[in-house]
Amino acid sequence: MVHRPTTKESMAAAFAVGLAIVLIARWAEGPGERVSVALRATARWSFLLFWLASAGPALATLFGSRFLPLARRARDFGLAFASAHLAHLGVVAWIYFTSVDAPERSSLIFFGIAVFWTYLLAILSWNRLSAKLNPRVWRALRTLGVEYIAYAFWIDFAIHTLQGGVVNFIVYLPFVILAVAGPELRLAAALKRLSENRTVATWDALGRRSGHLSGGASARELEPQ
């Protein structure tokens, strides 16, 4: 029987991979490239986990049961993303406190908001906390936070795609495609669920109406054969 990692194990493994990326960059790259390589690589690692967490349920809704295992582990992937992102934030902090040319304040605010959403959603993902929120409020917060994080990743990858020549373009293009595809998948899944809910509501209404008219005929009896 295949061992399924627990949430804590997934978080620990994700952080360990992020830390390993930083150490490998320090060992393999030259003095002028270590930090930038670690920064870019840890961002891409974090994004892969975020994409699985945010797109997995949509894939299951759109394409069926083959993606159910991915959808069921969406929370684990989300917390693993938050854990892995700590390694990336460590590199950002190193750059901010050691570099002569610190990042612009506007960039720090923009990406800082994404960090805020990352850890707010991670905290609220624990059932005891999310259960205290109105379900509609929780869905709204989750949607707003996920889409802002997705937008921040897209901006970051789009900028890097246009910098550094052909090699950089090839490296970042798949991540840009995934960053664009994620929101589209979530939107398509939401529209499909809305359509299905409306269909069910319509048949329920017809069932109630037919019951009054025919003394209890079900909606299914009204379906075309």
The whole-chain average pLDDT of the chain stands at 86
Least confident of 24-33, 114-123, 139-148: 24-33
Domain residue ranges in the chain: 7-222
Residue 131: pLDDT band (50, 70, 90) is confident
pLDDT tens readout for residues 32-75: 788 889 999 999 999 999 999 999 999 999 998 899 999 999 99
Q: In this structure, what are the phi and psi dihedrals at residue 216, rounded to the nearest 5 degrees?
A: 115, 15
For residue 160, pLDDT beyond 50: yes
Q: Between 216 and 96, whose confidence is greater?
A: 96
**Long-range pairs for 203-209: beta carbons < 8 A, 24 or more residues apart:** none
pLDDT tens readout for residues 94-125: 888 887 776 788 888 999 999 999 999 999 98
For residue 214, pLDDT beyond 90: no
Residue 30: pLDDT band (50, 70, 90) is confident
